[in-house]
Structures are given as structure tokens and as C-alpha cells.
Structure 1
Amino acid sequence: MTLETLNVWAQILDEPGTSPWHARMVYPVNRASMSVLEKLSHAPRVRELGMQYSRGWDESIDRRKGYFEVGSRVNGSWKDVILQGPHFTVATPFAKQPNPTMKNNLDWTELDLEALPADFIPRTSYQPNRSGEVDYDADYGTWEMPNGTKTPVRDHYRLIWRQMASTTGNRTMHTAVIPPGTTHISFAAGGTDVATLLDVSGMWSSLPIDFLVKVTGIANLHVSFVDRLPAIRGTAVHEILRRNVARLVCLTEAYAPLWNEVMDTPWTPESPARVAAERRQLLVELDALAALSLALTADELCTIYRTQFPVLRGYEQTDLYDANGRKVPQEMAKLYRKGGKDGMAAEDLRWTHPQSAVEYTFEFPFRTFDREEDMREAYARFSAMLERDGQILATEV
């Protein structure tokens, strides 16, 4: 263990000025990972972007105070929505919704993004209580704007994340943008311009940042931690990154104003990426864009993926996609692996989504993807584009 290594750890995890001898420990598994951490330690920080934070609702304390109560409902307005961690995942605000039975924390159903109505609002298991002594709407908090005025936190698009980090899952940092009106359990960031919000969302949805969160071993992602995560400022990849995030996040009309700020065409239901293969590709491109902005090489990006994301890598090696880019359901994939194309009848290729009740017919050929190959391709494409345009990344200046 060298003083230089300890200094890198202090720069990543601790407050500015912390002595390397007092640095908290990081858990890289090889020298390549340590090289990545060293580069990340020199990057700008989220705290430099002027973001504000919201405490959100505390699932235990605020429920006891009477701000909300347990109950399953699909509300007609985002102002009555209280989101929980499973509702969202990486750059996906509509991942799952709780079943009306609410048996346990696994009683959720994956949402069908292809069939998502433009006015979709997810089912929730917590409902606002506006009849008690506390004020549900007023007590949620305010943010101070640059002109000195204060506005309700709920008036803004916000970036939320799951507070409890799962280092054994396919991803550790689960984060998504939520629309105005809604409240949520745990913390959120925002109170800044849309461009900055999308920049941070894109970075937090990438493998380099997920890697950093994973190797720190921190299980509880408080504001003090995410405020120290690497950020990008003044780099040439911003516009592409923002557009990718918009195509991943803006799945309903509640996101139309956000979309219209960064895209050239008005939002329509056909605007976002809804098919699994296309969404996967956009995430892969976020990985490459983040790596470029942080001065990581393609080899370093692939190394941290190969060594730090075994669960994600396992999914990538086994997930099947059909000719239209839809992810093949598990039971159908089992039949295909057992008997191949010739071992499947026409009815075996029809599947009804459990949430939307829409029947899909899957088409051959089925295929898998190679994430390392795709990240390298995206990295080379964006790198060549930057070189062609004569642009230099801020982290290289």
C-alpha cells in the first residue's frame, strides 16, 4: 500500500483536504481497476455543478408522522404518486409497479415499455394523506433558485437513486429522472438546468460510475457520497449523452417538456426508445461516452466490466433478442436452447406480457450481444467523431 494509493482513495471518498492516512478503504481487484480509480480521482465532482438535494420521504419516520399511508392505487395525477426504489432502474423511470396484492417486496411486475400509454402513471403502494395534522404538499420542501426565489421541490424534474446499494446485483447504482409533481422515498438531486440534470443522469447510469460506487463498498448512498461522484463539465460529449438519456427516460408525455429542451423535434409517443435492444445500445453508448469524458481507455472500460460486473456479464452472455430487438422471455429462450429453431412451433413464439396483456409474436433469428465488442465500437466511433471535429475533452486539457 503506497501513500499515492491512499491519496487516490481520499480524493474519491472523503472530504477535500482529508489526509491520505485517514482515507476510507476502496476495494479494487487488480491494477487496471486502480488505474481507473486514479483517473476518476482527478475528475470534476458533482458538488461543483450547483445541484440541490431533497431528502424525500423517509419510509418509516414520515409514514409514522402521517404524511402517507399504505394502499394500492393507480392515481390520476403525478401529484398523488409516491415512488419507491423498485419503480425505477438504470435510466428507466418505468421498470416495475407493485401488484395490488402487495404480498411482499418481491410482489412487483415488470412494465411493458412498448405498450406504455402516453399518459401512463404507475401503480403505487403508498398514498398521500392530506387529512391529517401534517401538510403533505407544503412540507415536502423547497429549493432556492438563482434569482433568490424559492420553489417547491416537486415543481422540478429530479434525479433519484436507490439509497441502498446492491453490490451483488447486475448494477449497483440505480438512478432515473422523475417528472414534476411526484414525491418519492429517499433522496433526489435537481434544482438546476435540464442540461446539467441530464449530464449527471447519463454519468450515473454508466459503468464507470457504477464501478466506483461498487468498489467503495458503501451500502447507503447518502447525499454526502453522491455529491463527491465524478462529473463532466465543458466536454464535447454532452450533447450526445443528453440525447441518449432523453431517449431512455422520456417514455410518457410527463417528460415532453424535458425532451423538447434538448431534442430537435417535439415529443411524441414514438420519440423514446422502447424496444429492449435499442435501449441496451443507448446504455452501452453511455458507458463509452462516460469513459471518454473521464479519459479512460476502451481497454480500461472493458476491464472493469469484465472484472467487476459478473452478474451483468452473465446476463449479457445469455439474454436472447429476436429479429425486432425484443428480449426473448425466459421460457421461450429455454425452449429455443433445448431444441433450436426447428424445435419450436408457431404457438411457442407467441407470448402475452403479464402487465400490459399485449400478445407479441417473436421472430427469428434469435441472437445475443457482446457488450465488450459493442462498447469498443461505440468508443471508437465517438473518439473518431471528436477527433474529426477537432474537439478535446476537458479531462485531457
Structure 2
Amino acid sequence: MAEALLLRTLRLNCLTNAYADLWSELYDDSWAQDSWAADWPGLPPLGEAGPAWGWSTPLRTERARRAALVELDALVALMLDIDAEELIALYRSRFPQMLTYESAMWFDADGRKIAENFNAFGHGQTKQHFEQLMAHLDPEVNGPVPDGYTAPFYKADREAEYRQAHAVFSERLRRSGWQSPAAPDADGAS
């Protein structure tokens, strides 16, 4: 799982060519086979970045960057032996403001964020964009797509995304033969 953690971390942080040497030094050929754990329709393949840093190496859209952060949370939770429901309980109890912001947050087909709260606005978003989105999503109004955005829209749902990513990473770990440090050994002792 360390490789999955490193890939997502570097794709989030290696934003400029100043990181080219670091990227090349740490690049692992196995990353080409890595894929997103949660279902993120419309995102480019996670493992598509090659051994040489390029402009497309870092995750640049708001949705792709959020996807990597969600999956990093799930990976670290597994490494700390925190199950999915405990991770969600931590999210609810320790990050109530983020929960509020994400309750009215969508992403367009190009990965642009659009949110109700001005503290969570996506890049270049205005209040009118959110109002246009609500009119667009309302079946009775069926308004046009907000100016500068591309349908379809995907609703942020961190709890469902956590559950899915946690389940996929748990299965990957199980197939690799990894056993949780807290799991009982063959004799039943932990």
C-alpha cells in the first residue's frame, strides 16, 4: 500500500518541473497498473503518469485532487487499522465544517468544483454559478448548464467515497496477504 500512498501523494504535490528530479527518482513502474479505488466517473486513469515529469503528471482538476485526498484518507486509515465506519465517524466529529461545505458541492465533467458556500467555491466560481446549477438540476426548471461548466455533474459524497475506497484497498491488502497488526494470529492471540 505504500506504493499507492506515494503515487497519490506525489501526483498531488509535484506541481511544477522543480519536482522533476524527485518524481523521476521515486517513480515506480508498478504505478502504471494502479487505478482509482473509488468510482470517479470521468477522471483520467491514475497510473497514466510516466517516469519523466510532465505537465500532466500532477493532478490538476479540483475533482481529481479531491479524489486523491479521499483515497489517501482511506489508505492511512487502513494503515492505522481504522475501519471505514470509524473513518466516517472521525470525519463527522472532527471536520463538521467540511461536512457542511461538501453537503452542497458538485463537480462538472471537466473536474471543476461548484459549491453553495463561498468558502468552498471552485476556481472562478460565483454565487450565480451555484444558482444556475440548482436550476439546471431541478427537473421542474431544467435550466441551462451554468456558464463555463460542462454537464454531467457529480455530487460530492465523502462518506460513500470513503466506504468504497476503504473496501477496495482492504481487498487489495487481503489479496496481497497482508494482515492487520491488530488481527489475531493463527493461534488466536493478537
TM (norm. structure 2) is: 0.71
Kept in 2, the 8 Å contact 1:250–1:256? The answer is yes
| Contact persistence 1:243–1:262 (CA under 8 A) | no
Map of 2:34 onto structure 1: none
Contact 1:319–1:368 (8 Å) recurs in 2: yes
The 3 A distance-change label for structure 1 pair 395 and 244 is farther
Q: Name the counterpart of 2:108.
A: 322
Q: Of residues 155, 161, 170 in structure 2, which corresponds to 1:374?
A: 161
**Structure 2 residue 144 is the aligned partner of structure 1 residue 344:** yes
Shift of 1:304: 1.0
Q: Distance in 1 between matches of 2:159 and 2:60?
A: 23
Whether 2:17 is the aligned partner of 1:253: answer yes
The alpha-carbon distance between structure 1 residues 303 and 320, as it changes in their structure 2 partners (threshold 3 A), is same
Q: Percent identity?
A: 39
**Which structure has more strand as a fraction of its residues?**
1
Using a 3 Å threshold, how does the CA distance of structure 1 residues 260 and 393 change in structure 2: closer, same or farther?
Answer: farther
What's the TM-score, normalizing by structure 1? 0.35
CA distance in 1, matches of 2:85, 2:54: 38
Q: Say whether the 8 Å CA contact 1:241–1:286 is kept in structure 2.
A: yes
Change (3 A) 1:306 1:243: same
Alpha-carbon distance between aligned partners in 2 of 1:272 and 1:372, rounded to the nearest angstrom = 25
Report the counterpart of residue 59 of structure 2 in structure 1.
273
* Correspondence for 1:180: none
Per-residue deviation, 1:277: 1.0
**2:130 aligned residue:** 333
Report the 3-state secondary structure (helix = DSSP H, G, I; strand = E; otherwise coil) of the residue aligned with 1:296: coil
C-alpha displacement at 1:260, in angstroms?
1.3
2:145 maps to 1:363: no
Aligned length: 147
Alignment of 1:73-152 (within 5 A): none
Q: Partner residue of 1:107? A: none
Q: Secondary structure at the match of 2:155?
A: coil
Question: 2: distance between equivalents of 1:259 and 1:330?
Answer: 35
Q: Distance in 2 between matches of 1:257 and 1:305?
A: 35
Stretches of structure 2 lacking an aligned partner (at least 5 in a row): 30-50, 115-124, 184-189
Distance 1:274 1:380, change over 3 A: same
Q: Secondary structure at the match of 1:349?
A: coil
Instruction: Name the CA shift for 1:238/1:395 in 2 (closer, same or farther; >3 Å).
Output: farther
Query: Which protein, 1 or 2, shows the higher relative CO under an 8 Å CA cutoff with sep ≥ 6?
Result: 2
SS in 2 for 1:320: strand
1:290 maps onto 2:76 in alignment: yes
C-alpha contact (below 8 Å) 1:293/1:395 kept by paired residues? no
Could you list the per-position Cα deviations for residues 49-101 of structure 1 after superposition, in whole angstroms to 9, with x for gaps in the alignment?
xxxxxxxxxxxxxxxxxxxxxxxxxxxxxxxxxxxxxxxxxxxxxxxxxxxxx
Q: What's the RMSD between the two structures over aligned residues?
A: 1.8
Query: Could you say what secondary structure the match of 1:287 adopts?
Result: helix
Residues 1:388 and 2:175 are matched in the alignment: yes
Contact 1:320 1:333 (C-alpha < 8 Å) held by counterparts: no
The equivalent of 1:241 in structure 2 is 5
Contact 1:284 1:371 survives alignment (8 Å)? yes
Structure 1: tracts of 5 or more residues without a match: 1-236, 351-361
